[in-house]
Amino acid sequence: MSKNTNFTGNLIKEARENYKYTTEECAEKLGISTRYLQKIENEGNLPSYGTLRNIVQLFSMDAN
């Protein structure tokens, strides 16, 4: 998968890495499975609205 086809996942992965969270730590903080987070970051799966809201809050991201 090219970098441009998973824009949302790449943004989330970059934010997670900037906060120095492992996938496991981040998934735990978000209340989701590690595998689900990996699918979002690497496979182009889009997070549910609730998960996306939690990600935005966790990383203090601009939702726009």
Give mean pLDDT, residues 14-40.
98
CATH assignment at residue 54: 1.10.260.40
Domain count, the chain: 1
Q: Name the DSSP letter for residue 3.
A: G
For 34, other C-beta atoms within 10 Å of its C-beta total 14
**Structural domain range at position 32:** 3-58
Q: What is the pTM of this model?
A: 0.87
Nearest CA-CA partner of 30 in 9, 61, 51:
51
Share of the chain above pLDDT 90, in %: 86
- Residue-averaged pLDDT of the chain: 92
Instruction: Note whether residue 63 is domain-resident.
Output: no
Extract the tokens encoding 31. 């209340």
